[in-house]
């Protein structure tokens, strides 16, 4: 089954002082470029979810989709607009602020999803669910639309309504380090 990958870069970046995180330099290039390098070999199509600087994101050579649900409604709004444009039956979601995401992320999520006939597979490191790193069936679009229409915004709340599987990545916990503040950025640069 082919996979559409959606890179989420549609947030307000409040903890980063409003700077567009995906476009911030990290080790010599925009953070989203690192995520693209990691994700592209794992999926059949890439979409970039951006709400503030779509022209800048378009420069990375992939379609840019903006939230349909207004008001910066969070990761699920990005997944929602991406699912509407996805060409494939499986849809992966990853954040733009995790430049070291696992090179085998999609393979492991897909293997678990198909083996368990689940609706969604979500990465987990130790006790911590990594809800922004998931793979779901594109056929869930009506359920997600309904959830968002009813005011739902929390990723874990939506996942709880689905047949989900948590996929352990305890061997790659550092790969899920995300950058939320300038201090995080400086720390990961080192």
> In the predicted model, is pLDDT for residue 161 greater than 80?
yes
What is the tens place of the pLDDT at every residue in 7-54? 999 655 555 455 688 898 888 899 999 999 999 999 999 999 998 889
> In the predicted model, is pLDDT for residue 116 greater than 70?
yes
The pTM of the full predicted model, rounded to 2 decimals, is 0.91
Picking from 73-82, 103-112, 130-139, which range would have the lowest pLDDT averaged per residue?
73-82
Angle formed at CA 23 by CA 22 and CA 27, multiple of 5 degrees? 90
Exposure string for 58-94, b = 16+ CB within 10 A, e = fewer: eebebebbbbebeeebbbbbbbbbbbeebeeebbbbb
Residue 85: pLDDT band (50, 70, 90) is very high
State which fold the 3-189 domain adopts: Spore Coat Polysaccharide Biosynthesis Protein SpsA; Chain A (3.90.550)
What is the tens place of the pLDDT at every residue in 162-189? 999 999 999 998 888 776 666 666 666 6
Give the residue extent of every domain in the chain. 3-189
């Amino acid at each position: 089954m082919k996979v559409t990958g959606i890179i989420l870069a549609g947030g307000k970046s409040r903890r980063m002082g409003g700077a567009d995180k995906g476009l911030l330099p990290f080790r010599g290039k925009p953070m989203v470029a690192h995520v693209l390098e990691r994700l592209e070999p794992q999926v059949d199509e890439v979409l970039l979810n951006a709400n503030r600087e779509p022209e800048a994101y378009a420069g990375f050579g992939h379609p840019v989709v903006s939230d349909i649900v207004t008001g910066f409604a969070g990761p699920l709004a990005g997944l929602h607009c991406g699912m509407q444009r996805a060409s494939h039956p499986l849809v992966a979601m990853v954040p733009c602020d995790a430049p070291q995401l696992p090179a085998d992320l999609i393979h492991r999520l897909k293997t678990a999803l198909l083996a368990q006939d689940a609706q969604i597979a979500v990465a987990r490191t130790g006790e911590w669910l990594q809800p922004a790193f998931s793979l779901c069936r594109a056929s869930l679009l009506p359920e997600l639309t309904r959830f968002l229409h009813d005011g739902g915004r929390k990723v874990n709340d939506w996942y709880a309504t689905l047949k989900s599987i948590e996929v352990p990545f305890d061997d790659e916990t550092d790969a899920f380090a995300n950058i939320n503040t300038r201090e995080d950025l400086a720390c990961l640069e080192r």
